[in-house]
Structure 1
Amino acid sequence: MHPLVSALEGSLIVSCQAYPGEAMRDPRTMAQVAAAVVEGGAAAVRAQGLEDIRQVAAAVEVPVIGIWKDGTEGVFITPTLEHCLAVIEAGADILALDGTARPRPDGRSFAETVAAVREHFDGPLMADCDSVESALLAGELGVEIIGTTLAGYTDARPRTVGPDLELLEALAGRLPATSALVAEGRIHSPAQAAAARATGAHAVVVGTAITHPTSLTRWFREAVTDR
């Protein structure tokens, strides 16, 4: 297992993202958020967008998992080889990309994209997967981090209320020793994070429940007003 990935065992990774049009949608703000979560113990951070990656990488000393979301439909998380190389150039320590079998904008398959990236980058890759099949394929291709990021966001699996513990359980112990299973997606409480870890996750990624005050405020407002 890659040393950078091995060091993340039993840790919390925090995704620091804001969406277009939101008050926090500024790379400087995301860099400050990243620094704040590192102060709280985050072992790595996940950043979206090239300028965010640059500024977050400058603000923290922990590994930065970089993605570039382009679009809103189909494959849009670091969807092409061009996006992958740009994320690497921006300073990501770990490159994350869509790990599903869906068609990609540049016509390459996931396997072809991974092979092409390896020609330029010797750091770890993270595959954002949606099913047992996509996760196992990523493992066969030597991808170092297998995330459950897209479980419930494609047609491959139904969306669970919390993290997809059933998918984690199905994958635990089935990946190569060089690949780490990381839980991501709809982890909204410490109890859910602990459950994901107990189900076999090498590490746990939390985003919205820590770094998205718009959603947090909405949850509390609904709890107060919807009575």
Structure 2
Amino acid sequence: MITLPTGLIVSCQALEGEPLHSEFIMGRMAIAAVQGGAKGIRANSARDIQEIKKHVTVPIIGIVKRDYEDSDVFITATMKEIEELMEVGVDAIALDATKRPRPGNLSLQELVHAIRSIYPNQLLMADCATLEDCIEADRLGFDYISTTLHGYTDETKGSLLYHDDFKFLKDVLDHVTQPVVAEGNILTPEMAKRCMDLGTHAVVVGGAITRPHQITARFDAALTSSVKSPL
């Protein structure tokens, strides 16, 4: 069984409506990431993953983002998304592992059991928001525990992974047995290094590398805030 690499994993994603939304562009983005030293790629949708696999050979973490009317869970929410990823082939599948209600009221435990029953050798990554999520994902037997959704759910909104010298990440590392992947608002190489120094297996960086509109907005915000009002 292939395991996920230690080090930097780059998330190559662009949602519909974003400037770089194109499987062609994501394929080239993955090439650039690997040339820069990325040890793995995280990608969204079978279409993008198929294109990326034409150009790079590093391990791929696959997800499918899809909105459901009866749930706020949108990262690989049901077996439909699992099947799509299995068909295209990925090294690991990441899915929302929060305690939020899932589409069709399927529990996370039921979904994990269904996946393991059909695909016992497939690596699974838990995208978590809280420490409780991480502990439960560890109990359910996920292969990797990730901090992906910390700060993105109603319960954690406003909290950032790097607050108080990565206290949340430290708590996760102290409470789970499976390898931990740091992800979520890691904006600088120094932040990524700090995560690795604390003991994470890998660090996933997305927007700080692959979303130029977000990068530009941070520069613009910094410059705008530094402009003094005329006397």
Q: TM-score, normalised by structure 2?
A: 0.90
Amino acid aligned to 1:80: T
Question: What's the counterpart of residue 90 of structure 2?
Answer: 92
Q: For 1:103, which of 87, 93, 101 is the aligned residue?
A: 101
Find the counterpart in structure 2 of residue 172 from structure 1: 173
Amino acid paired to 2:142: V
In 2, distance between residues paired with 1:111 and 1:59? 35
- The answer to whether the aligner puts 1:54 opposite 2:50 as a matched pair is yes
1:41 aligns with 2:40: no
Deviates most, 39-48 or 54-63: 54-63
Deviations 1:11-68 (A, max 9, x none): 0010001121222100111011011101111111000112011111222100110101
Which AA in structure 2 matches 1:78?
T
- Aligned 8 A contact 1:19 1:25 in 2: yes
- 62, 68, 78: which one aligns with 1:66: 62
Q: 2:75 aligns with which of 69, 74, 77?
A: 77
Unpaired runs of 5+ residues, structure 2, are: none
Q: Which runs of 5+ in 1 are unaligned?
A: none
Q: Is 2:91–2:122's contact at 8 Å kept on the other side of the alignment?
A: yes
Please name the residue that 1:149 is paired with.
148
**AA aligned opposite 1:53:** I
Structure 1 residue runs of 4+, over 6 Å off?
none
Deviations 1:156-209 (A, max 9, x none): 334334535222111214322xx2101000000011111222223111110000
Identity %: 40
Contact 1:69 1:78 in 2 (8 A): yes
Task: Name the CA distance, whole Å, in 2 between partners of 1:169 and 1:225.
Answer: 34
CA contact (8 A) 1:49 1:67 kept: yes
* Aligned residue in 2 for 1:125: 124
Counterpart residue number, 2:8 = 12
What is the number of equivalent residue pairs in this alignment?
A: 221
Query: RMSD of the TM alignment (CA)?
Result: 1.7
User: Of the two, which has the highest radius of gyration?
Assistant: 2
Counterpart AA for 1:124:
L
Alignment TM-score, normalising by the size of structure 1: 0.91
